[in-house]
Amino acid sequence: MSPELSEDLTARFAEKFIEYAINYAQEEGSRISFRHEKLAYQFKPNSQVDVRAIDDGRIENEINDKKFQVAVLECKRKISYFTESGKPSISDKVLAQRVGQALAQRRHESKVLLSQDNSITIHAASHFIRFFHFQTTASYMDT
């Protein structure tokens, strides 16, 4: 194996961390779980642009036997951007990918979102994890 982590190893590390946090942080009887299978999202805002995204897993909450998506996991195999002070961060390109995914999630018809206007993305790269909250209202999506 190469010295650099693969994206799948990063995803497994993040999944195990999330599963541990879910198992020990939720109340007994809660029905929050991590789903490993990948889900694709797609929408076409106009005839020239096609926005596609595939998540690396998601957190779901089961309410009345129906599963709602709470957050998605997105992984990169390594940290590729650092601030001037040396702190890990994300590049504008990766942030644009996360925004595109949030928009695609909002437009995706078949997945039940816990909130139509809000989405949470968990970005993992190597051992670095960052949480993003995107708010996409219906009026914003109509513009």
Tell me which of 1 and 36 has the higher pLDDT: 36
Count how many domains the chain has.
1
Tokens of 18: 């999330």
Domain that holds residue 61: 3-140
CB 78 within 8 A of CB 126: yes
- Cβ neighbour number for residue 39 with a 10 Å cutoff: 17
Report pLDDT digits (tens) over 49-87. 888 888 999 998 888 888 888 899 999 888 888 989 998
Rounded average pLDDT over 34-45: 84
Q: Rounded to two decimals, what is the model's pTM?
A: 0.82
Q: Where are the alpha helices (H) located in the chain, listed in sequence order?
A: 7-25, 92-107, 138-142
Tokens encoding 67: 């599963």
